[in-house]
Chain A
Amino acid sequence: MSPARSRPRPAQPSAALPLDAVTVRKARSLARQAGRPIVRLAQQHTTVSVERATLRLAGLGGADPDGTPWVNHLVDAVRADTGIEDGVALPVWDSLTRGDAADLEELARKAAVGSVRFRIPSGRETTRVRSAARKAVGVGVRRIDARRRERERLIRRWGDAPRTPWIYLIVATGDIYEDMPQAQAAAREGADVIAVIRSTGQSLLDYVPEGATREGFAGTYATQENFRLMRAALDETSAELGRYVRLTNYASGLCMPEIASLAGLERLDMMLNDSMYGILFRDINPVRTFVDQRFSRQVHARAGIIINTGEDNYLTTADAVEAAHTVTVSQLLNEYFAKEAGLADWQLGLGHAFEINPDVPDSFRLELAHALLARQLFPHAPLKWMPPTRHMTGDVFRGYLLDGFFNLVGAMTGQGILLVGMMTEAVVTPWLSDRDLALQNVRYVMNACGNLHEDFRPTPDGFIATRANQVLSEGIELLQQIIDHDRGLLDAIADGTFGLMKRPADGGRGLDGVARKADGYYNPASELLEATT
């Protein structure tokens, strides 16, 4: 048994850059200072999605004929009677232990038509209700544990990806039954990780759609059944290929806790889970996001899932040179929140991207500096390296060259996960031939200079080292600015410190689904998950 086998071996943490250890410690300590009040805030609140995830872990799935999930019906009904300040576990299992319904689904059906009333149990009853709730939710948590062990077993049986970086390819047809053969073909062509892009805007749905879906907008809905189908298809191909092919989906949005739980239950291997993406790019309420994020990451930690963070988004909306330090700051914050939630270094696929305008002089050296900085700041994290999108045009020939340089930076800086760039980015969804050419590009670069990092040492006071140190110090300044706000990170997000949008703590979607926990708040899932941390 070697648990290390289920982890991307983070590349040789080369100490290529002369980074000052004191400065690096300072950056981490500032990130901690900025993040700690947010963690406290997350501990003091719950959300409808956290509560729904708890019911999902207790086995409640399915939806009514209109597609509204039973977990939504039940949580809404409880919220109307007792609020969610005490958590839904107490009123729900109070109702079940009193015999209102035989199981959760029956209770949800009754709640949907208003034929049950909920209350908060008191006194000695509470102990009995708690223990019933803990038992039910414990089944789901144990199933996640079993899924994690199953992954480790399958990796031992079939073998792991033969090298790093892991090659990450995307499918996105909108139809899960089209996605499956495409994903299998991509795996046969050499993908180590398959990501199924979600339907546009799913992150803004306050429920998780149900069942196998065949229609989506530029992507396929994340549902439990779609997860199950795709994992089964990749298991079949993994057995055939003799290597375990990983599956990725997206947690970010209004339903992070639920999607994270479903991912754990269906043995997904990686999840996109960014601490601030929903706030900045989707106008989701900051408190909602931070509460949901913490719970979802606790689930990922338990499930042995590797998270991918979304720093690439900063670079597609702002200039990649000017905004380089915002990536560093986001990585540091994502690292702090992730570790606080119980994730280990090997689970941190911190993101960054090759998005500098190729017309900028020395753009390649700048990219190299930024990528080396990330590598060296997070030596034990796999790091997810994302290809150019913003400066890809219809000129597919130039795009192919850019992707080659992107791969070269990946090779020279030992990235753990490499999202393969397509020359037809911004033109069409990838064709079979695009994918094949893209993989040839990756293979050529890795074969030609995969070990170049052994020889490559930037001059200590040269352009690359100077640039990396500059980005780090700008990052430290930004963290300092964040902390100097009255309410720290929340105020910084509100006044547009991240240079994108002003997102006040009392604005954005999903705020009405947030509640401050009462003294008697009880959530067996949190109890079990906190024990992991």
Chain B
Amino acid sequence: MSGDPAILRPYGDTTGDGMVQLSFTLPMPHSKIAEGAAAQLAAKMGMDPAMVVHAKAMGPQHTFFVVYGAVSHLVDVSSVRVVEHDYPLLSPKEINLAVRKGLRRRLTVIGGCIGTDAHTVGIDAILNIKGFAGEKGLEYYRELRVVNLGAQISVPHLVARAQAEKADAVLVSQVVTQRDTHLLNIKEMSAAFREAYPADRRPLLIVGGPRFDEAMADSLGVDRVFARGTTPGLVASYLVDELVTRRLAGNDPDRRSA
């Protein structure tokens, strides 16, 4: 860190000028008052002097502004704290490559909604090639083999299919949460997998749904919980980290190397 100043100001074209640009909309018709209001907001945000360089009516009730100005705030880099993911986010290309090199076969993922839950929206967002939030689903990854069982899968059926397909990972989605059915279903599922597999051969168990808390994994007996807003890329990166990277690093032999 020596040599890097810990205290910074934004840079326009001169060190220390503190220049930033900002755009926003105020819900009021365009007028001199509106421009003054924009300048006031910019001042409250720490811009001094603030120049309202552009103001344009958008319909009768809204005005759009572009403001340039110097901010008085300083940034203390030494006090910045960030939460890092405990696994690296990889691109589809990197994921395919990691599986091909690390596993030397395709990684099998099976998924479904268990119990009476018929809401496949979550599992489909993660598995279907159509994907979610601009990211393609796991089907899109060449080195992942995806078996989507759909809705209302019984736990014994899920276990049997996982065994038949030699699944590396099992993804279960639960949307319905009446009377905590989602928690009961998952506990039943994880217990069934523990019973059906020796501990070192059990597939990775992953659950997801809008009402899960990511800290619940241990109490549910699963390896990972994904909450609202999870994208397919996050899940794929996690799979690679857990089933390829860590296993190679730990010299953990492929569980089905035979």
Q: Does B62 count as interface, using CB distance less than 8 angstroms?
A: yes
* Beta-carbon contacts under 8 Å, B162-188 to A: none
Q: Does B35 count as interface, using CB distance less than 8 angstroms?
A: no
* Residue with the highest number of chain B CB atoms closer than 10 Å, among A204, A425, A431, A500: A204
Smallest Cβ distance from B217 to chain A, in angstroms?
24
Q: Are A282 and B130 CB-contacts (below 8 A) given A431-B25, A432-B58, A433-B58?
A: yes
Q: Does B221 count as interface, using CB distance less than 8 angstroms?
A: no
Q: Are B148 and A283 in contact (CB under 8 A)?
A: yes
Residue ID in chain B nearest A396 by CB atoms: B23
Contacts of B124 in A (CB 8 A): 200-201, 204, 282
Q: Are A281 and B59 in contact (CB under 8 A)?
A: no
Chain B interface, >50% SS class: mixed
Q: Are B59 and A185 in contact (CB under 8 A)?
A: yes
Q: Does A436 count as interface, using CB distance less than 8 angstroms?
A: yes
Q: Does A217 count as interface, using CB distance less than 8 angstroms?
A: yes
Q: Are A436 and B64 in contact (CB under 8 A)?
A: yes
| Distance, CA A474 to CA B62, complexed state (A) | 50
Q: Are A433 and B23 in contact (CB under 8 A)?
A: yes
| Distance, CA A500 to CA B23, complexed state (A) | 41
Q: Does B129 count as interface, using CB distance less than 8 angstroms?
A: yes
Q: Does B128 count as interface, using CB distance less than 8 angstroms?
A: yes
Q: Are B129 and A501 in contact (CB under 8 A)?
A: yes
Smallest Cβ distance from B226 to chain A, in angstroms?
15
Q: Are B129 and A280 in contact (CB under 8 A)?
A: yes
In the complex, identify which listed stretch (B98-106, B131-139, B236-244) lies at the interface while the others stay far away.
B131-139
Contacts of A103 in B (CB 8 A): none
Q: Does A469 count as interface, using CB distance less than 8 angstroms?
A: no
The total number of A-B Cβ pairs within 8 Å is 58
- What 1/0 mask marks residues of chain A from 477 to 504 whose CB sits below 8 Å from any chain B CB? 0000000000000000000000011000
Smallest Cβ distance from B149 to chain A, in angstroms?
11
Q: Are B128 and A282 in contact (CB under 8 A)?
A: yes
| Distance, CA A313 to CA B134, complexed state (A) | 11
| Distance, CA A125 to CA B124, complexed state (A) | 47
Q: Are A432 and B25 in contact (CB under 8 A)?
A: yes
| Distance, CA A201 to CA B120, complexed state (A) | 8
Contacts of A389 in B (CB 8 A): 134
Smallest Cβ distance from A312 to chain B, in angstroms?
12
Q: Are B64 and A317 in contact (CB under 8 A)?
A: no
Q: Does A461 count as interface, using CB distance less than 8 angstroms?
A: no
Residue ID in chain B nearest A280 by CB atoms: B129
Smallest Cβ distance from A436 to chain B, in angstroms?
4
| Distance, CA A200 to CA B137, complexed state (A) | 13
Contacts of B212 in A (CB 8 A): none
Residue ID in chain A nearest B62 by CB atoms: A432
Q: Are B125 and A201 in contact (CB under 8 A)?
A: yes
Contacts of A185 in B (CB 8 A): 59
Contacts of A398 in B (CB 8 A): none
Q: Are A317 and B23 in contact (CB under 8 A)?
A: no
* Beta-carbon contacts under 8 Å, A413-464 to B: 425-426, 431-433, 436-437
Residue ID in chain A nearest B135 by CB atoms: A426
- What 1/0 mask marks residues of chain B from 58 to 76 whose CB sits below 8 Å from any chain A CB? 1100101000000000000
Smallest Cβ distance from A437 to chain B, in angstroms?
8
Q: Does B115 count as interface, using CB distance less than 8 angstroms?
A: no
Contacts of A425 in B (CB 8 A): 134
Q: Are A317 and B129 CB-contacts (below 8 A) given A432-B25, A436-B58?
A: yes
Residue ID in chain B nearest A277 by CB atoms: B130
Contacts of B130 in A (CB 8 A): 281-282, 313
Q: Are B121 and A433 in contact (CB under 8 A)?
A: no
- What 1/0 mask marks residues of chain A from 173 to 201 whose CB sits below 8 Å from any chain B CB? 00000000000010011000000000111
List residues of B whose CB falls within 8 A of some A CB.
Answer: 23-25, 56, 58-59, 62, 64, 120-121, 124-125, 128-130, 132-134, 136, 139-140, 148, 150
Could you name 11 residue pairs across A and B whose Cβ atoms are closer than 8 Å? A200-B124, A201-B120, A201-B121, A204-B120, A204-B121, A218-B132, A218-B133, A282-B124, A317-B129, A317-B140, A436-B56
